[in-house]
Amino acid sequence: MLIKPLRYMLGCLALLGGTMAGAQNLSSIASMPVGQVLSPEQLSALGKMPSVDIDGQTYLVVPVQAGGSSTTLIDSSRRLGRTDNQVSIVEQPTDKVRSQLAGLLGRAASVKYYDHMNITLVRYASIQQAVQGLADLRAAMPGAAIGLPVSFSQRKIQ
Amino acid sequence: MKCNSAYIFEIIQFTFYVRIRISTNFKEKREEMHCKTYWVIYLKRNFKYLLLPVAAASLVACGGGGTSQDSPVSTCIEAGEYACKSGETEPLYSLQWVLNYAKSYFSINAEADAFGGGIDLNVEPVHRLGYKGQGVKVLVVDEGVDIGNEDLKPNIDRSMSWNFRTMTDDPTPLQIASAGAHGTNVAGIIGAAQNGKGVMGISPLVKIGGALWLGTDNMNENHVEALGGASWSQKADIINASYGGDLGSATYSIESNMDLAALRAMRGLRNGKGIVYVKSAGNSFDSDNFGYDIRCGDLYGFYDCINPSNDVSTLEPTAIVTAALNAKGQASSYSSAGSVVWVTGMGGEGGNLGKYGEISSGTISRGSRSKTLTHDGPNVYSTDVRGCDAGYSFKDAFTTFLKGKSELRPGIKDNENCDYSSMNGTSAAAPTISGVVALMLSANPDLTWRDVRDILRLSARKVDMGYEKRTRNDVTASLKLPYNSLFDLTSNSFTVKTGSKEYVFDNSTQVPVEFGWQMNAAGDYFSNWYGFGVPDAYKAVEIALDYKKDPTKSKASLQAVPTFSQLKIVSGFNYQSVMKIAEFQSKSSTVDAFQVRLTGENICLGNFGVVVESPAGTKSYLKMPLDHFATDDLHTFKNFGLSSYAFYGENSQGTWKIYSVASNPSFFPDKNDGNPQFCSAAPATGTFASNAKLWVEARVIPQ
């Protein structure tokens, strides 16, 4: 009589343990320095992860950690990168950006204009929204230098 | 003896009155210029045999001399207690070999293996003219600056400062023993005050701002803020960037990297003259020591297996990339080398032994760990985070000075409160250049960033000539073969034969990995280790003043950067030899930089180098044949950028040749555990990878 519930409970515990181990792995990965290359074993231990395409490159997305405003990505060489979910529009006068992209910029979490540098930084709530935002902004301003920077190197004193 | 320019002038006048009949021409020029400096320059050109001994004797009597050359005699433009005096007013000045080589403490007290045969920046003659950075603002973007240090306080400008951690205008770093003092050292090297206390900065009247940026959140956006985006950073004339990130294979395109966008935009700031951006090259020549799991295997010590240009901001001409020189006049053992290096400043070596770093060999220990050092030498003295519980000077530091217990003068502690310390690295070298730039801008504030860059080049001295032919024997490596030994691309090892750039040709299998100083067709000498060399501050100020007299010499701040031209898609790739992979036809222009951009699939980035040959025949290594990407097994990359200044000033017209210098991807010696590594995209057999694809782009950035 007790065997079925016991099995069920053990199954749940195993699942919970696996989930917790996966979460721990994800947490440790998210805190690793960018540029670090994961071993194949480290990567497979992370389990299945969502992916995004940015400029023809596919990246695995390490699920966002609580409170973080950036996203950790993994490229095809198992290298860790980081993005602030921020699209940059550069070498474009900011008043032109304001007028031409007004409708699209409303979807962003925040927009920062550097008028004297012709730079606009558009931050989104998630990497997925940022990827969509990148596509929308490029379509609305063809030919402009618009990108979604991903860093693979941590700046340090040298 | 008091240094009085009028006194020296009288000596010269008297000498000439006795011995030389002043020519009519000279009289006319004297009346025209009303400038005593001109007298000296004119007289030197005409009567060197007479003037030099007189001037030298006068300057030595006045506290000058040392390695300072072409010391001028002039009307002092400075007023006050320290007018036209150099660092002899500061108690720790004798430790500052960077400013005062010949008369420094080390010239008498250091072991021969730690100090000797080097040079300083020749700043003393500039100080005696009274140029000390007046009116110039330098922003130190770093991990903070202790604005309360007694030697920085007089020069701190809080309206040009920011702390990205506390979001206030106080950039004072955290008080941590052995850490957190980087920016404070950088600031002091540039602009420690002349106040009878501690050390003296190269430009002691400059205004200093500090940004605590490294290690904070949102570093990309905040970097734009710090590089002129914010109202406080816009005020800067010079930004010192003693940091970098050189481990990645980042995309070189302006939309993919905010640093690039900021650097391009900086050209329009400073009232259209452009902020001058001085950047450290990196400390990765001895990358095995750096703890990044980077292994150069048997190649360790021969060349820098981490290219400074991996930090894409170094690819922008806006960045004045600075390597480091030690007190023996040679590249510091750690100084990153590459074709993006523009000039060399002073970084020293470890400075770990003895009272002040004067000892070359010994053992250092902390806790249970110890390390034996050989061929060490002094580093660069500066300001520190205050107190013996914080910064680089603290009770458990290595040297007596850093512990706060040394005495240059008997009975008087030099550094009792641990407010001063010393630092090495290209982190120290970059601010020595920022300091020199501040001197130039105080003489001529109208210089554009491009003028500054040019003048640094024009004033630079070639050092360590023939270095490619010597063997290495310094603080971290001892090698039996010279740097220009031929590298066998089949076995990935050095041979006992040496060679020159002539060995780089189609199908060659043995090449040198260091060419040494190369004179290009424009007559400029360039080296991947030293760039154009070590600037001479006096010469630089002299040229800056020439630009003031003749503004037509100035180059406009805005520089056109053409888009890359797609040259070729290489299908299939040959390893273990040199192969010409593309040609680029260029129209006529005067070259600033030549750049290559590569995109690859199934091609081992760590297993091929890139050499470019200009139409005039100058060759330059833009990338080494076996670098740290080999350990990463990186074989897919996009828009990987490379650049070289070796062709600066040449006419670009004609055919540029781009060669791959490909090593053996199936064998990479691993120094750490002895196990060979492989590139997973290497051909299973033979040398030809049929599935490899390489897109090659190039451009000339004209002057």
Domain residue spans of chain A: 3-83, 86-147
- Model confidence pLDDT, tens digit, residues B68-114: 555 545 689 999 999 999 999 999 999 999 999 999 999 999 999 99
State pTM to two decimals.
Answer: 0.89
What is the CATH code for A86-147? 3.30.70.330
- Model confidence pLDDT, tens digit, residues B228-248: 999 999 999 999 999 998 777
**Closest Cα of chain A to B218: distance in Å?**
7
pLDDT of residue B50: 38
pLDDT class of A33 with cuts at 50, 70, 90: confident
Query: Average pLDDT in the A59-64 region?
Result: 88
Question: Which is higher by pLDDT, B216 or B294?
Answer: B216
- Model confidence pLDDT, tens digit, residues A123-136: 999 999 999 999 99
User: Of B279, B186, B263, B183, which Cα lies nearest the Cα of B228?
Assistant: B263
pLDDT of residue B240: 98
B244, B262, B635: residue with CB nearest A158: B244
A79, A119, A121: residue with CB nearest B265: A119
pLDDT class of B295 with cuts at 50, 70, 90: low
B265 and A149 within 8 Å at the Cβ level: the answer is: no
Q: Is the pLDDT confidence value at A139 over 90?
A: yes
pLDDT of residue B387: 94
pLDDT class of B340 with cuts at 50, 70, 90: very high
Question: What ipTM did this prediction achieve?
Answer: 0.86
Query: Average pLDDT in the B428-455 region?
Result: 98
- Enumerate the residues of chain B whose CB falls inside 8 A of the CB of residue A150: 256
- Model confidence pLDDT, tens digit, residues B595-608: 999 999 999 999 99
B136, two tokens:
């110039």
Q: Where are the beta strands (DSSP E) in B553-687?
A: 565-574, 578-586, 591-601, 608-613, 619-623, 636-644, 654-662
A152 and B634 within 8 Å at the Cβ level: the answer is: no
pLDDT class of B11 with cuts at 50, 70, 90: very low
User: Of B703, B696, B701, which Cα lies nearest the Cα of B565?
Assistant: B696
Alpha-carbon distances of B565 from A56, B168, B561, B654, B658, rounded to whole Å: 20, 46, 12, 15, 13
Count residue pairs from A and B with Cβ separation < 8 A.
132
Question: Which is higher by pLDDT, B75 or B134?
Answer: B134
Chain B, residues 174-213, CB within 8 A of chain A, namely: 182
DSSP B217: S
Which chain A residue has the Cα nearest residue B639? A55
pLDDT of residue B476: 77
**Closest Cα of chain A to B220: distance in Å?**
8
pLDDT of residue B69: 53
- Model confidence pLDDT, tens digit, residues B244-292: 987 778 899 999 999 999 999 999 999 999 999 999 999 988 865 545 5
- Enumerate the residues of chain A whose CB falls inside 8 A of the CB of residue B284: 158
Report the greatest alpha carbon distance in chain B: 85
Helices B5-19, B36-61: crossing angle, 10 deg rounding: 100
pLDDT of residue B33: 37
pLDDT of residue B34: 37
Could you tell me whether strands B518-519 and B525-526 are parallel, antiparallel, or unpaired per DSSP bridges? antiparallel
B284 within 8 A of B246, measured Cβ to Cβ: yes
Query: What is the rounded CA–CA span in Å between residue B571 and residue B567?
Result: 13
Question: Which is higher by pLDDT, A6 or B147?
Answer: B147
Chain A residues with CB within 8 Å of chain B CB: 34-35, 37, 55-57, 69-70, 76-77, 79, 84, 86, 88, 90-91, 112, 114, 116-119, 121, 123, 145-158
Q: Is the pLDDT confidence value at B224 over 70?
A: yes
- Enumerate the residues of chain B whose CB falls inside 8 A of the CB of residue A68: none
- Model confidence pLDDT, tens digit, residues B458-498: 999 999 999 999 998 887 778 889 999 999 999 988 999 99
Question: Which is higher by pLDDT, B563 or B677?
Answer: B563
Q: If you average pLDDT over every residue of chain B, what do you get?
A: 88
Q: Is the pLDDT confidence value at B45 over 90?
A: no
A153 and B246 within 8 Å at the Cβ level: the answer is: yes
Tell me the CA end-to-end span of chain B in Å, nearest whole number. 48
Is the sign of the CA dihedral B108, B112, B117, B120 positive or negative? negative
pLDDT of residue B104: 98
